[in-house]
Structure 1
Amino acid sequence: MQLFGILCSIGAALFWAMAVIMFKKSGDTLSPTALNLFKGVVTLMLLLPTLWLADVSLFPPHPATHWLRFGLSGLLGITLADNFFFMALKRLGAGLWAVVDCLYLPMVIVFSGIFLGESIGVKGMLGAACVVIAIMAGSYSGISLNRERRDLVIGLCFGLAAVGFLVISIIMVKPLLEDTSVLWASFVRILAGVSGLLIIAGFHPERATVMAVFKPSAVWKTALPAAIVGNYLAMLAWLAGFKFTLVAVAAILNQLSTIFTFILAAIFLKEPVTLPRLIATLLAVCGAVLAASV
């Protein structure tokens, strides 16, 4: 199952990379709250028949504390973290966001060591360093600072909040994942996350515009597949990775999403393959191999 966890973590990175390109296009049209709510509802609608087909009960005999922790994880990791992610992506662009996202890995390693007692050893630390350096090197050639200082500062704050809430949301439920169905855990997190977003949408000054996202439109051409790949598939793979392997190892492999984004952008968006990004890809692969061998 360790190998399965590694494959799931890599899969989550690939799914998310595919979705980022589509979310970036959708984010030019939709507000962060509208886009986040749309992908949450789509995922919830897909999870319900998935649970039925997999014969997983919606109301298993888990204690109330499990419901509360997974629910809080959804509020932090979906309602807050994902909203802050879209807000940061809109202000920073993909290049700068990739640099901010590098904080995800060291934060996971530190918090998993403090709260879960996990250790990835020297090879794991070297692998993590390789991946972080690779992402920073690859992102450097694509960074554009042609934006207002106010947008830059606010975007960085949103980015830090997104990463922080995401890390907390997985650390707090990792011990419970050992004896919990990934499908059920995903369902409770999404249900709580969507509930929180509906509350935000209810108080949103442009709530009519936010809710209009559910009317079929041209934006669905990118938003719908992005929601399926980047939320439904990516979240299932993401949680499965954390369940079946060490938190820090899963986090290292998750960070490959940026490298996959470089590759997919070159293939589908015809972005130039620069030397820094080529070196970054090779370095990230080496880091992933080191991490997977822990």
Structure 2
Amino acid sequence: MSEFTAEITGQLAALLAASFWAVATILYHRAGSHFSPLQMNLVKGVIATPLLLVISLFLGSSLTITYGLWLLALSGIIGITIGDSCHFAALRRLGPWHAMLLEYLAPPLAAFMAWLFLADSLSAIEITGAVVTLSGVLWVVSEKAPDKQPVLSLSGVLFGCGAALCQATGLVMAFSVLQSEQMNAIDAAFVRLAAGSVLLAAIVGFSQRGAYFAMIKQFRAINPLPLLGAIIFGTFLAIWLQQVSIANINPGLTQTLLSTAPLFLIPISFLKKQRITVRSVAGALVSLGGIGILFL
């Protein structure tokens, strides 16, 4: 694959993953009242992990036991076990729009971690981009409701920030593995999701007696189609496409394009006749502009 083709492939994969994640967030929000964040995270892992394994075996698995494999598994624990659980907690408290908007914090956090741990320098332009991104997010989360009460809960904002931090950490770790080892994107996605799901299963199992039977009973009591749709689009396809993207372009550009996901919610919300304030849209565009300054 030529450099130009690889770059186009990576960019299109990230944009498609962002659109899928936007659709999945709406569907996850609908099912969120029936499961706790940990349970929701485990359900998606139990369903999506075997799908990724089947595709991996069909395409010819490239997995071997190496240091990179363990690092990839650790990135899955950070990004999926912790990060996705925080995202589902934020989704329950904030709703799809504001929960996804807080993910704009991931790119500047990734840049800061690269500066802190990898000795990557930050230019004045990059610092400006990070400040603009943070300003856009803060402008939205500080918005007041008509009755002068805060729109957002503090715990929801903290969970959203935690999700962004874990997402940035997992992405940087996965990128380092895919750049140093010969591994298919689908295999990387499988390892990350499998590692995160195994730890989730242990946590949920030890947290409550009969937790698995309760989850199965609850799953049977609801309409499973929205949740299955969310898992197919937001976990199976989106994680695969994310790995395709970071295998072909740098993680900064991948994260920038993935961060367009909240913008895909705007037309979806209008079609569903849901209200999004002008301030929220403006803040999202300001934050996206900051991310562009930071990485492009």
**Whole-Å Cα distance in 2 between the matches of residues 170 and 110 of structure 1?**
13
Determine the structure 1 residue equivalent to 2:89.
87
Query: Is residue 77 of structure 1 aligned with residue 82 of structure 2?
Result: no
Which of 201, 207, 215 is 1:198 aligned to?
Answer: 201
User: Could you tell me whether the CA contact under 8 Å between 1:259 and 1:280 is conserved in 2?
Assistant: no
Q: Which amino acid aligns with 1:229?
A: F
Whether 1:39 and 2:48 are equivalent positions in the alignment is: no
CA distance in 1, matches of 2:48, 2:145: 32
Aligned to 1:10: 15
SS at match of 1:261: helix
How far is the alpha carbon of 1:245 from its aligned partner? 1.3
Q: 1:266: which partner in 2?
A: 270
Whether the aligned pair in 1 keeps the contact of 2:108 and 2:133 (CA below 8 Å) is no
Quick one: distance in 1 between partners of 2:167 and 2:53?
24
- Shift in Å, 1:222: 0.9
Q: Structure 2 regions of 5+ residues with no counterpart?
A: 1-5
Query: What residue is the counterpart of 1:111 in the other structure?
Result: 113
Q: Distance in 1 between matches of 2:149 and 2:15?
A: 33
Between 152-161 and 77-86, the greater mean CA deviation after superposition? 152-161
**Equivalent pair of 2:14/2:245 in contact (CA under 8 Å):** yes
1:34–1:213 Cα contact (<8 Å) kept: no
Give the corresponding residue for 1:102.
Answer: 104
Report the aligned-residue RMSD.
3.3
Contact 2:175 2:247 in 1 (8 A): yes
Q: Residues 204-262 of structure 1, C-alpha deviation per residue, up to 9 Å, x if partnerless?
A: 22614653268544331211000010001111111222221121111111111111112
Aligned equivalent of 1:188 = 191
CA separation of 1:208 and 1:260: change in aligned 2, threshold 3 A: same
**Matches of 1:72 and 1:210, distance apart in 2:** 29
Counterpart residue identity of residue 169, structure 2: I
> What's 2:165 paired with?
164
CA distance in 2, matches of 1:187, 1:140: 38
CA distance in 2, matches of 1:109, 1:130: 14
Distance 1:103 1:273, change over 3 A: closer
Q: Residues 196-235 of structure 1: matches in 2 within 5 Å?
A: 196-205=199-208, 207-208=211-212, 210-212=214-216, 215-235=219-239
Distance in 2 between residues matched to 1:142 and 1:9, nearest whole Å: 33
TM-superposed deviation, 1:197:
0.9
Cα 1:25/1:217, change in 2 over 3 Å = same
Calculate the TM-score normalised by the size of structure 2.
0.81
Aligned CA distance change for structure 1 residues 214 and 79 (closer, same or farther; 3 Å): farther
State the alpha-carbon separation in 1 of the partners of residues 38 and 212 from structure 2.
12
Aligned counterparts, 1:56-71, within 5 A: 56-57=61-62, 60-63=63-66, 65-71=67-73
Does residue 55 of the first structure (1) align with residue 60 of the second (2)? Answer: yes
What SS does the aligned partner of 2:10 have?
helix
Matching residue's letter, 1:32: P
1:2/1:245 contact within 8 Å kept = yes
1:82 Cα deviation from its structure 2 partner:
0.9
Identity across matched positions, percent? 24
- Per the TM alignment, residue 24 of structure 1 is displaced from its structure 2 partner at its CA by 0.6
User: Deviation per CA, 1:121-151, whole angstroms, max 9, x where unpaired?
Assistant: 7887777777666666677779798579xx9
1:25 aligns with 2:30: yes
- The 1:110–1:286 alpha-carbon spacing in structure 2 relative to 1, beyond 3 Å, is closer
Unaligned runs of 5+ in 1: none
Residues of 1 paired with 2:142 and 2:154: CA distance?
A: 18
Tell me the SS of whatever aligns to 2:222: coil
